[in-house]
Amino acid sequence: MIDRYTMPEMGELWHEDAVFECWLEVEIAHCKALAEAVLIPRNELSIIQKKASIDVKRIREIEKTTNHDMIAFLESLAEKVGPASRYIHLGLTSTDVVDTAQALTLKKAFAILENDLEKLLSALRDRALLHKDLICIGRTHGMHAEPTIFGLKFAVWWDEMNRNRERLLSAKSRILVGKLSGAVGTYSETTPELEARALSFLGLKRAGTATQVIQRDLHAELLSALAILAGTLDKIAVEFRHLQRSEVGETAEPFGKGQKGSSAMPHKRNPILCERISGLARIVRNNAGAGFENQILWHERDISHSSAERIILADSFILIDYMLQKMTQIINGLSVFPERISKNLEKSNELVFSSRILTELMRRGVERKIAYEWIQTASMKVLNEGGTLSERLNEITFPEGKLPISESELNNLFNFDWLKKSIEEIYRRIGLIR
């Protein structure tokens, strides 16, 4: 991923220096297991541990000839270690090291994302509680619907983000596995006991079953979880983009001192962070598609997945890390304009209470179809000619001669008291309040 969207800590994990360091960590863990089993001399292990180091420049030079990065890596180590290097990679195949080392990288990457998620969850929770009593218009199909609570938007996202965390942890529990079972996974030159011991040094579990590669349904699951998480971030971003529109103006993402919105129009304050998140989410979602394709490999292995994974795993983790941090910045720095929210709510001229009136008329014995037509007729007059819903309802000629509900009773329906009780119950149900 380009530097523009890469946070330093996450970016370093996927740099080729760090990847080769993980390869070396796997090789040394395997050598330790061999030494414990008295399959290599302990003094040779000491030499390997002391002398083995990564020289990326030299690896790349050798690879120009070998056209094989693992062999170039091993030859580079041999130049540094000397005769003891014959024990490095003993009984292993390339994918043993690559897949196991990749799990080490993922383990570190998960830790960063989990920290990012905690910060975003905290920001969403704070906003949900801060705006728990702020009444706003609810919108369906982009149109005014019924009133709702502004804080409920954040409560919904908080609840969904918790599910994203659960999905990520679930994928993590399965993918942090290693495999050191040799060519085609049959332990022809090593043993399950050696594999288990070496992996214990790395803090990894053994893959349940493997051929020459760890099976890619695990990676597809992980990329799917990241894609769903990206979808949630995109959804939040789209909501803020709509709410920041000039015609709505209920929120605005952070806008720094000296920041400019347009090269031509000095008045512009655009939701560029939210738009950026929406754009990057498309990449993460499409990366998941490549992950699904990687499940299908020929026989015991091919490497059609390898080239794709070098891109999609690194880029997906880097982008999710960036997007989570940017969304936390947006939530914490979000400007909310209660007066504009109130004005937008009042624009409905009581139409937001149409459902309450419909329900009350049916309780009083009016057939639903008739009650609906009365309220719809009055509502269309409000939209086309102005006035309030109660005024237009009182203009309608009903079979009984008048609306079967008094003006005072009608006005009693035009309140938001019921919302507070509903929101309290929702907040308790999802665990935002006790």
Q: Do residues 225 and 282 make contact, with C-beta atoms less than 8 angstroms apart?
A: no
pLDDT of residue 399: 65
- pLDDT single digits (tens) 288-302: 999 999 999 999 999
pLDDT confidence band for 410 (50 / 70 / 90): confident
Average pLDDT over residues 14-18: 96
367-375: long-range contacts, CB 8 A cutoff, minimum separation 24? 374/398, 374/403
- Residue with structure tokens 């209920």? 250
Is the same domain home to 333 and 362? no
pLDDT of residue 65: 97
More confident residue, 359 or 395: 359
Is residue 430 one of the residues assigned to a domain?
no
pLDDT confidence band for 401 (50 / 70 / 90): low
Q: Which two tokens stand for residue 115?
A: 């920290």
Q: What span, in angstroms and rounded, lies between the C-alpha atoms of 14 and 316? A: 11
Q: Do residues 181 and 190 make contact, with C-beta atoms less than 8 angstroms apart?
A: yes
Is the same domain home to 295 and 385? no
Among 342, 373, 392, residue at a domain's last position: 342
Report the percent of the chain where pLDDT is more than 90.
86
Q: Do residues 358 and 371 make contact, with C-beta atoms less than 8 angstroms apart?
A: yes
Is the same domain home to 127 and 175? yes
Is the same domain home to 274 and 323? yes
Is the same domain home to 312 and 404? no
**CA distance to 98, 111, 237, 265, 322, per residue, from 14 (Å):** 13, 14, 27, 40, 14
**CA distance to 139, 246, 248, 326, 335, per residue, from 271 (Å):** 20, 11, 13, 12, 12
The backbone torsions φ and ψ at residue 131, rounded to the nearest 5 degrees and listed phi first, read -105, 25
More confident residue, 120 or 412: 120
**CA distance to 19, 95, 118, 179, 184, per residue, from 310 (Å):** 11, 14, 28, 19, 22
- pLDDT single digits (tens) 168-182: 999 999 999 999 999
Is the same domain home to 263 and 312? yes
Is residue 380 one of the residues assigned to a domain?
yes
Is the same domain home to 326 and 366? no
Among 342, 359, 387, residue at a domain's last position: 342
Is residue 29 one of the residues assigned to a domain?
no
305 noted as active-site residue: no
Residue 16 has pLDDT above 70, yes or no: yes
141 noted as active-site residue: yes
pLDDT of residue 267: 83
Average pLDDT over residues 348-371: 91
- pLDDT single digits (tens) 309-337: 999 999 999 999 999 999 999 999 999 99
The residue annotated as part of the active site, out of 170, 262, 335, 422, is 262
Residue 421 has pLDDT above 90, yes or no: no
The number of helix segments (H) and strand segments (E) in the chain equals 17, 6
pLDDT confidence band for 49 (50 / 70 / 90): very high
pLDDT of residue 27: 98
Is the same domain home to 328 and 370? no
DSSP state of 15: S
pLDDT of residue 400: 60
Is the same domain home to 296 and 393? no
pLDDT of residue 202: 98
Is the same domain home to 252 and 220? yes
Is residue 382 one of the residues assigned to a domain?
yes
pLDDT of residue 30: 98
Among 342, 367, 390, residue at a domain's last position: 342
Residue 79 has pLDDT above 90, yes or no: yes
CATH number at residue 166: 1.20.200.10
- pLDDT single digits (tens) 193-250: 999 999 999 999 999 999 999 999 999 999 999 999 999 999 999 999 999 999 999 9
Residue 262 has pLDDT above 90, yes or no: no
More confident residue, 79 or 265: 79
pTM above 0.85, yes or no: yes
Parent domain of 358: 351-413
Is residue 34 one of the residues assigned to a domain?
no
The residue annotated as part of the active site, out of 141, 263, 267, 299, is 141
Domain count, the chain: 2
DSSP state of 297: -
pLDDT of residue 303: 92
Is the same domain home to 319 and 287? yes
Q: What span, in angstroms and rounded, lies between the C-alpha atoms of 290 and 61? A: 30
pLDDT of residue 223: 98
Residue 39 has pLDDT above 90, yes or no: yes
Q: What is the mean pLDDT of the chain?
A: 94
Is residue 156 one of the residues assigned to a domain?
yes
Is the same domain home to 144 and 241? yes
Is residue 292 one of the residues assigned to a domain?
yes
Is residue 237 one of the residues assigned to a domain?
yes
pLDDT confidence band for 402 (50 / 70 / 90): low
